[in-house]
Amino acid sequence: MAAEPVEDNCISFVEMKFINNTLYFVAENDEDLESDYFGKLEPKFSVIRNLNDQVLFINQETQPIFEDMPDSDCSDNAPQTIFIICMYKDSLTRGLAVTISVHYKKICTLSCKNKILSFKEMSPPDNIDDEGSDIIFFQRSVPGHDDKIQFESSLYKGYFLACKKENDLFKLILKKKDENGDKSVMFTVQNKK
């Protein structure tokens, strides 16, 4: 008959007040506590270009490459040119946390594990329980250039997605940003739909 406590409603007491011969306890307000995590929000479908207007796309060998491409070719080459940028809610405030995926044959997500870029065969997860992840990048605009974007790895601080010419190919790589001025880490992101 006696009242029973509701399930999983444990209370920590943080303070005591002694008033009129009675000891009162003040409960902890833990409504603001959250564990470190990333939580998935909506995705955007985008075309990513470097500052030379070359379009990023995923080739037959699942490699991310930049190439000159007129707009008509760009749409024709979809889904290889369309990148799915998923935004995540960050428990710390460091910038917009995103994953970059592409749906070509299968859904693959960009990973910078060991500072080497590759597209892993996986869908962006709903939650990531960590402060840093090999698939999470912080998308920020270039100061004073609101249309230009940089993507910094959440796992390797100071390392950014960049375009690098290797032999005849312009590849997407992860590199440490050059402090004296580095435009290879800047991109424009055009959202579709």
Tell me which residues touch another protein (CB under 8 A). Answer: 1-6, 9, 11, 17, 21-22, 24-27, 29, 142-145, 179-183
> Which of these, 84, 82, 71, 92, lies nearest to 47 by C-alpha position?
82
Q: Please report how close the Cβ of residue 59 comes to another protein at its closest, in angstroms.
A: 31
Pairing of strands 137-142, 96-104: antiparallel
Q: Please report how close the Cβ of residue 11 comes to another protein at its closest, in angstroms.
A: 6
Q: Please report how close the Cβ of residue 5 comes to another protein at its closest, in angstroms.
A: 5
Phi, psi of 76 (to 5 degrees): -65, -35
Report whether 50 contacts 169 (CB < 8 A).
no
Q: Please report how close the Cβ of residue 190 comes to another protein at its closest, in angstroms.
A: 19
29 vs 72, beta carbon nearer another protein? 29
> Which of these, 98, 97, 63, 99, lies nearest to 80 by C-alpha position?
63
96 vs 142, beta carbon nearer another protein? 142
70 vs 144, beta carbon nearer another protein? 144
5 vs 70, beta carbon nearer another protein? 5
3 state DSSP class of 22:
strand
Whole-angstrom Cα distance, residue 67 to residue 78? 14
